[in-house]
């Protein structure tokens, strides 16, 4: 991190709606707070499996609550997440592995596209309710994010390479090492140590820990 700036890492997966909320708020704050924001695409499935966590929506009462919660959060955070009751089934039926490998490949080759690309994956899955697991969907997302056909094609071939698979595995392992058990996992490196914050509703607390002022989810 550059002089006096706090490095803040965001471990996220595009299958996670709360990750989208946290992502957008941190994007808004990256030029307001004295932070270096670093996007760390990781694999939520791997984190859940390795920590023995269960999808919260598997508990019917919690699924009911989450539906209302995400709707309220979407409105409050001004992020176009659109949820309905069958979305949890849709998450269970969708693997984000190929998408997150693709995002990882772009992070390794053309990181300037990381922010718009990640956003487009969320837009497609959570706003337009379309699939993100098939190669043609992934290419459509990339095109939407402004990547050239050539670049997208190259990244798509990279997703089956050991380099990309290893990088995603390593990033996921790193999140777990910091104590993550779900997503988003935000790690602030402050005062010589890492501070983990879980979820998109702890950013006010993050600000307090690193000595920054919270100005609401949509700071002007």
pLDDT of residue 3: 64
Q: Is 100 left (phi over 0), alpha (psi -120 to 50) or beta?
A: alpha
Please determine, for residue 58, whether its predicted confidence score (pLDDT) is greater than 90. no
pLDDT in tens, 193-218: 999 999 999 999 999 999 999 999 99
Would you say residue 173 lies in a domain? yes
pLDDT in tens, 144-170: 999 999 999 999 999 999 999 999 999
Strand positions, DSSP E, 3-67: 6-12, 35-41
Of residues 186 and 89, more confidence is placed in: 186
Residue 197 CB partners (closer than 8 Å, separation 6+): 185, 186, 187, 188, 203, 205, 206
Would you say residue 219 lies in a domain? no
Given 2, 16, 96, 133, which residue is catalytic?
Answer: 16
Would you say residue 216 lies in a domain? no
Q: What is the pTM of this model?
A: 0.96
Would you say residue 87 lies in a domain? yes
Could you tell me if 103 and 111 are in contact, meaning their C-beta atoms sit under 8 angstroms apart?
no
Tell me the residue range of the domain where 156 lies: 6-210
Would you say residue 147 lies in a domain? yes
Whether residue 19 lies in the annotated active site: no
Give me 79's structure tokens: 């992020």
Would you say residue 44 lies in a domain? yes
Could you tell me if 15 and 55 are in contact, meaning their C-beta atoms sit under 8 angstroms apart?
no
Would you say residue 181 lies in a domain? yes
pLDDT of residue 199: 95
The number of folded domains in the chain is 1
Would you say residue 160 lies in a domain? yes
CATH number at residue 146: 3.40.30.10
């Amino acid at each position: 991190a550059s002089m006096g700036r706090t490095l803040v890492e965001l471990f996220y997966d595009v299958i996670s709606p709360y990750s989208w909320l946290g992502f957008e708020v941190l994007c808004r704050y990256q030029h307001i707070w004295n932070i270096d924001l670093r996007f760390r695409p990781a694999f939520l499935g791997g984190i859940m499996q390795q920590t023995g966590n269960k999808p919260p929506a598997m508990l019917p009462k919690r699924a009911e609550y989450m539906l209302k919660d995400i709707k309220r959060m979407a409105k409050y955070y001004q992020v176009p997440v659109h949820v309905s009751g069958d979305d949890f089934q849709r998450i269970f039926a969708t693997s984000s592995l190929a998408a997150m490998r693709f995002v990882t490949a772009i992070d390794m080759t053309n990181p300037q596209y990381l922010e718009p690309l990640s956003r487009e994956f969320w837009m497609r899955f959570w706003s337009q309710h379309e699939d993100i697991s098939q190669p043609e969907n992934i290419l459509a997302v990339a095109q939407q994010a402004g990547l050239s056909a050539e670049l997208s094609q190259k990244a798509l071939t990279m997703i089956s390479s050991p380099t990309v698979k290893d990088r995603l595995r390593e990033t996921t392992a790193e999140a777990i090492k910091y104590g993550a058990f779900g997503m988003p996992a935000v790690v602030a490196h402050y005062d010589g140590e890492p501070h983990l914050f879980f979820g998109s509703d702890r950013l006010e607390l993050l600000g307090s820990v690193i000595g920054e002022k919270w100005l609401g989810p949509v700071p002007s």
